[in-house]
Amino acid sequence: MFISLEGIDGSGKSTQARLLAERLRDRGHEVVLTREPGGSDGAEAIRRLLVEGDPDRWSAETEILLFNAARRDHLERTIRPALERGAWVVTDRFADSTRVYQGATRGELRGLVDRLHELVIGREPDRTIVIDMDPAAALKRGLARGSGEDRFEEFGLGFQEKLRAGFLALARDFPERVRVVDGMADAEIVAARVAEAL
Ligand SMILES: Nc1ncnc2c1ncn2[C@@H]1O[C@H](COP(=O)(O)OP(=O)(O)OP(=O)(O)O)[C@@H](O)[C@H]1O
Ligand SMILES: Cc1cn([C@H]2C[C@H](O)[C@@H](COP(=O)(O)O)O2)c(=O)[nH]c1=O
């Protein structure tokens, strides 16, 4: 089973991915807990190209290519082998992040995002949980954490609001696969909501 956690920056995806992996391991499953961009040696190298350094280094189109290159490597080296040996895969972000960050926020690039996904990736997770929360609260969590790594967090509240709308739209676009969970509660309560949704 292949599960992705999605949502805006600071919504609690990494926390929930970890808690879900623990819950599944407690039930005796082998679980591969992974993330994007990253999750394989090559994809982690591409992550550094994307999140470190001059934010204007890449054009919007090149950025989409890089996210897809990283995802292809992640799929080939980490996700597929794990699924083939019967493990569960829990990933903190997958292709929906590209749909939302690169596609939904820049409408004219949606076609490119969708065509590249079909060509290079060609599969979806079995289930996707969107952790939904108020962007102002999520931004506060991110700032409190003091993570300086994410150049994407620089865009601020207006951008996060667009992202939230993009993630909520996924549940309408992929009703069989995507469930939205309210992330505005203690982590353990949200974890129970995630388990219930799955
Ligand atoms: N339910 C929660 N209540 C309060 N704080 C939380 C909750 N979930 C996570 N946090 C805290 O909020 C911060 C962001 O959480 P986390 O890293 O899980 O989010 P994220 O969505 O993966 O963030 P990013 O996308 O920016 O990496 C962390 O400091 C984490 O400990
Ligand atoms: C997979 C993916 C990610 N991003 C952005 C979203 C985040 O702001 C950063 C790093 O992710 P993290 O969850 O904070 O580790 O990358 C993106 O724009 N497009 C994508 O496809």
Residues 6+ apart with CB under 8 A from 32: 78, 79, 82, 87, 88, 89, 90
9 marked among binding-site residues: yes
Protein residue with least CA distance to atom 5, ligand 2: 152
For residue 13, the ligand 2 atom closest to its alpha carbon is 13
Ligand 1 centroid to 84 CA: how many Å? 31
Asked whether the ipTM of the predicted complex exceeds the cut of 0.95, the reply is yes
The answer to whether 90 touches 20, Cβ cutoff 8 Å, is yes
Ligand 2 centroid to 160 CA: how many Å? 12
User: What is the per-residue pLDDT for 153?
Assistant: 57
Give the separation between CA 28 and CA 86, rounded to whole angstroms: 12
State how far Cα 48 lies from the chain centre.
16
Question: What residues pair up with 129 in beta bridges, in sequence order?
Answer: 5, 179
13 marked among binding-site residues: yes
Protein residue with least CA distance to atom 4, ligand 2: 97
- pLDDT tens for the chain, residues 1 to 198: 999 999 999 999 999 999 999 999 999 999 999 999 999 999 999 999 999 878 889 999 999 999 999 999 999 999 999 999 999 999 999 999 999 999 988 889 999 999 999 999 999 999 999 999 999 998 788 766 665 445 455 567 888 899 999 999 999 999 999 999 999 999 999 999 999 999
Give the separation between CA 159 and CA 20, rounded to whole angstroms: 28
Alpha helix positions (H), the chain? 13-26, 41-51, 60-74, 80-84, 95-97, 110-116, 135-145, 156-173, 187-197
Q: What is the pTM of this model?
A: 0.95
64 marked among binding-site residues: no
Where are the chain's structural domains?
A: 2-197
The one-character DSSP state at 153 is: G
- Decide if domain 2-197 falls under CATH 3.30.870.10: no
Pair of tokens at residue 184: 């505005």
14 marked among binding-site residues: yes
Protein residue with least CA distance to atom 3, ligand 1: 186
